[in-house]
Amino acid sequence: MTEMSDSGPVEDEDFLEQLQPDDTLIDRGVDDVLDEGYTAPENWSALQGFGNTPAEMRQGETLEQRVAQEEPEVVREEGPWNPDNEDREVGGRRAGRLVDARSDGEVFGTDVGIDGGAASAEEAAMHIIEPEDDEDE
């Protein structure tokens, strides 16, 4: 159970107080916070749109009105897909059971072969990537 503080009830004036620029870390370029202007949004809010009155609810929206309200999906730009199988990060051979022979914290495992051919989906997804000889070394 929370205890009441000894300072008394919180006054509404404490919440309405505007912090001056000297009391904040944000520099907005004005001496008084109340001198800063307000820019109204350019679009209507959903509460000001069509369908809020009983007559509009009975009439219903047209397809054009519904399409205009849709927001497009954000598509993340990815690099081009590489159709060359040799350059992908997938090995050519399927790995068997992987066991951690060492317990020194490394992220390497040892392939001990397929265990009876009944691999789980995670085990079947593991493939062996052969180490390449780097010419830079």
Q: Where are the domains of the chain?
A: 93-128
Closest by CA position to 61, among listed 78, 49, 73: 49
Number of CB atoms found within 10 A of residue 111's CB: 14
Confidence band for 83, pLDDT divided at 50, 70 and 90: low
Structure tokens at 79: 């690099």
What's the mean pLDDT when you consider all of the chain? 73
Q: How far apart are CA 33 and CA 26, in angstroms?
A: 11
Q: How far apart are CA 12 and CA 19, in angstroms?
A: 15
Structure tokens at 91: 């090995």
Q: How many CA atoms lie within 13 A of 132 on its CB side?
A: 7
pLDDT digits 0-9 by tens, 85-101: 566 667 777 777 766 66
pLDDT for 58-77, tens place per residue? 999 899 988 888 888 888 77
Tokens 């959903």 belong to residue: 46
